Amino acid sequence: MEQGWQGRCFEDFTVGAVYDHRTGRTVTTTDNMWFTLLTMNTHPVHLDHAYAAKTEFGRALVNSTFTLALVTGISVADLSQNAVANLGWDAVRLPAPVFEGDTLYARSEVLDARPSRSRPEVGIVRVRTVGYNQEGTTVIDFERTIMVYRQGYVPSGKPAWQDSTREA
């Protein structure tokens, strides 16, 4: 059986590399409502379309923390499929609003990659990710620091009954 894409390990990252993340995602009203309710954000610009219509935007704004989560998610296959943990998001900027119905895309650049000083099985990778809408307008820009497994240390994603590395 051939394996599909398994994600990058620490050794696969090169400073200066740029990844255009393949998958885009259209934001729906349901996405915005559910995320806003789940996070207990009661601002009516996200929840009340009649209120939002009276604002300078003229329609509902997508919850900005949803935008951060979605654009991070879009980048996972290329950046953090083999991550141990996200260590932080820094310099988050939201230069343009996101509206229900917008489709978001992302691109990331590797800013730094170094072996962990305390854990030999991982490395630390810092990236800058830019999220943009269907018109090419940047809607979010941030840096993310990720702890990524080194080659040979990624846990098997197979169920125990399929994992050939387990003891018989």
**Per-residue pLDDT of the chain in tens (168 residues, 90 and over written 9):** 666 678 899 999 999 999 999 999 999 999 999 999 999 999 999 999 999 999 999 999 999 999 999 999 999 999 999 999 999 999 999 999 999 999 999 999 999 999 999 999 999 999 999 999 999 999 999 999 999 999 999 997 666 666 565 554
Asked whether 72 and 129 are in contact (CB, 8 A), the reply is yes
Asked whether 36 and 72 are in contact (CB, 8 A), the reply is no
DSSP conformation class of 23: E
159 in a domain, yes or no?
Answer: no
95 in a domain, yes or no?
Answer: yes
Give the dihedral sign, CA 39/40/46/48.
positive
Q: How many domains does the chain have?
A: 1
**pLDDT at position 161:** 67
**pLDDT at position 156:** 77
**pLDDT at position 38:** 95
3-class DSSP assignment, residue 124? strand
79 in a domain, yes or no?
Answer: yes
Structure tokens at 77: 């296959």
Distance CA 23, CA 4 (A): 16
Domain with 35, as residue range(s), is: 10-149
Asked whether 144 and 19 are in contact (CB, 8 A), the reply is no
Residue 18: CATH number of its domain:
3.10.129.10
Please give the distance of CA 2 from its chain centroid, rounded to a whole number: 27
160 in a domain, yes or no?
Answer: no
Mean pLDDT (the chain, rounded): 93
106 in a domain, yes or no?
Answer: yes
Burial of 3 (0-12, 13-18, 19+ CB in 10 A): exposed
Distance CA 80, CA 103 (A): 22
